[in-house]
Amino acid sequence: MLARLARRGGGAAARPRHFSDDRIARATRGQVAMRQFGYDPLSGASMHAPHVAVIGAGFVGVNTALALLQRNIASRVTLTDVDEEKCLGEVLDLEDAGTPGSIAVATPEAAGQADVVVITAGRGPRPRGAPRQNV
């Protein structure tokens, strides 16, 4: 690995190919944005980790909530969905994941009081038997 880096030269070219300057800049912007909520992702210190409400308990919403909890970005995550039973089931599954922080079901009104609101809700299922072009 070092021989390949030496052949490419020093400086920015010495970085492995999978790290692009754009990707690093985007990560830095996200870290700066999290500092607005009193969380420093570089040191892991948090004065107040934000309450994040995720609207939509589908595949994307549940994985967003899981990532927020696993990376210790949010101290409290709430899920909201029109299908309350599915939402409750997903929350119970996430509680069993053993991640730090808390996860709960919230009403849309309670979700609006969160520090950060992430909307992952989609259009919803299409009618059974309807062709995709009609949707």
What is the per-residue pLDDT across 44-90, written as a single tens digit (0 to 9) for each?
555 567 899 999 999 999 999 999 998 888 889 999 999 999 999 99
What pTM, to 2 d.p., does this model score? 0.62
Give the DSSP H or E segment for 86: helix 84-95
User: For residue range 79-124, what is the model confidence (pLDDT) as tens digits?
Assistant: 999 999 999 999 999 999 888 889 999 999 999 999 999 999 987 7
Q: Which of 62, 58, 60, 100 is nearest to 78 (CA)?
A: 62
Q: Which amino acid is at 14?
A: A
Mean pLDDT of the chain: 75
Q: How many other β-carbons are positioned within 10 Å of the β-carbon of residue 125?
A: 9
- What is d(CA 30, CA 7) in angstroms, rounded to the nearest whole number? 33
- Helix, strand, coil percent content, the chain, rounded in steps of 5: 40, 15, 45
